[in-house]
Every structure is written in C-alpha cells, then in structure tokens.
Amino acid sequence: MAVLATVLFMPALTRAATVIGSLPYTISAPGVYELKSNLTANGTIGITVQAANVVINLNGFTLAQGETGPENQKDGIDISADNVTIRNATISDFQSGVSVTGSQCKAQDLKLLGNAGNGVLLFSGNDNTVVNCFIIGRNGVPDNLGIFVRSGSGDLVKDNQISETSGGIDSTFASGCAFVHNYVANSFRGLDRSTSDYYQGNVVTGCHFAFTGGNVIGAENGGN
C-alpha cells in the first residue's frame, strides 16, 4: 500500500515548472516558474506575482527593460503576495529590479544592474530576505538605492555586494532588521539604518558616509 501511494503521488512531486515565455507576465497561481531565454519588457512591468507560495527560477537568464527613458517607472518583478522566492537572474534597467509588498519573500542570487530607483525595494511586509545579490546602480541619480527596506520588520539583508549608488542600503523607515556581511563601495552613503536595526560584519569603502544609525554587533564592521 505504501508503494502504491508513493507511485500515485509521484506526478505531483515531479510536475514540470511553468515556463515564462514573454513579458509582461502575471502569476496568479502557486507553483514553480522558470525562464528558458532572455526576455525584454517594453514599458511594462516584467513579471507580476499575485499568488502566494511561488518560486521563480530564472535559470541565469536576463530580464531587461527596453524603454529606459525618465518616463519609465516600471519594475522588473513586482511581488504583492507572501512566500515568494526569486532567484538566479540578471534584472536590468527597470525602476526597481525587484519590488516586494508581501511577507516571507526572498530575492537570492540576482544581478541587479542599472535599475533607476532600487536594486531591491522591500516596500512593505515582514520577514523578507535579500541574500547574495550583486547590485550596480546609477551613481549620481537622486535616491538610487541598492537595497531599500521601506517599512516592515524582521527583514534580513546578507552577503550582498553593492556599488555605484547614491545609497547602498537604506532601512531608516523600517524596524528590527538585520544587515550581515554586506559590501558597499563607491556610493554616496553606505548603510543607513533605523535605531532598532542591527548590523554585523559589513564593509563600506569609497563612500562619503559609511554607517548611520542602527546597533553594531561585534567589531567586524569596517568603513571609511
């Protein structure tokens, strides 16, 4: 009986991922989604996620915005649901590469290049994670931030490399977040945190202001 049950459930466990074949694309059902090629948006949001419990594996491909003028205010991936993971892609030339208003979401192993507003925007929600992302912004553009924790609490920002932004990591409006082992270079500001945030093991170099606010843990942080 146990063997029969295993056989019956195998199709559900091995169900193929849904392929995102063109932009714009809206996800309205839970599941696993993936890219099989580079995709370009033309003045639209790239991928909109409206369903909880979603994993998007972009398989190392690129999402790019084709309209890069100042009138373009569209995000690469817009997440308005909980428990969504985005991983393994290059996202370039959008307003925000990834924008999150849900909770328990993760942006992981991303290259976020030349996005005009933010590499990652955690606009609201709690317990979100940004880990192992490589972010190059548009230094000299006002309010161009590598990672902007706009509000919420309990977020973790860890092991990210950020450069060429007006601000590397900003969480001045959030609370109770942690910033661990990030590297920020060649930006106007390094790490700006709220009074209830904590940080450990971060390195800031080539920035006018290295660390502002927050509570340091240990003596591992270093900056100019």
Residue 193 contacts residue 210 (beta carbons within 8 Å): no
Give the CA radius of gyration of the chain.
18
Q: Looking at the predicted structure, is the pLDDT value of residue 172 above 90? A: no
96-117 pLDDT, tens digit per residue, is 999 999 999 999 999 999 999 9
* Beta strands 84-92; 62-65: pairing state: parallel
Q: Looking at the predicted structure, is the pLDDT value of residue 211 above 90? A: no
- In order of their start, the domains of the chain are 18-223 (2.160.20.10)
Does residue 24 have a cis peptide bond before it, meaning omega lies within 30 degrees of 0?
yes
Tracing tokens 């093991």 back to the chain, one arrives at: 201
Rounded Cα–Cα distance for residues 144 and 188 (Å): 10
Q: Looking at the predicted structure, is the pLDDT value of residue 195 above 80? A: yes
23-49 pLDDT, tens digit per residue, is 999 999 999 999 999 999 999 999 999
pLDDT value of position 5: 52
- Burial of 122: CB neighbours in 10 Å, binned 0-12, 13-18, 19+: buried
pLDDT value of position 13: 47
Q: Which of the four pLDDT bands, split at 50, 70 and 90, describes residue 213? A: confident
Rounded Cα–Cα distance for residues 98 and 215 (Å): 27
Rounded Cα–Cα distance for residues 214 and 198 (Å): 6
Rounded Cα–Cα distance for residues 87 and 39 (Å): 15
Q: What does pTM read for this prediction?
A: 0.89
Contact residues for 68 (Cβ-Cβ < 8 A; gap 6+): 93, 116
Least confident of 4-13, 34-43, 114-123: 4-13
Q: Looking at the predicted structure, is the pLDDT value of residue 64 above 60? A: yes
Contact residues for 38 (Cβ-Cβ < 8 A; gap 6+): 61, 62, 63, 64
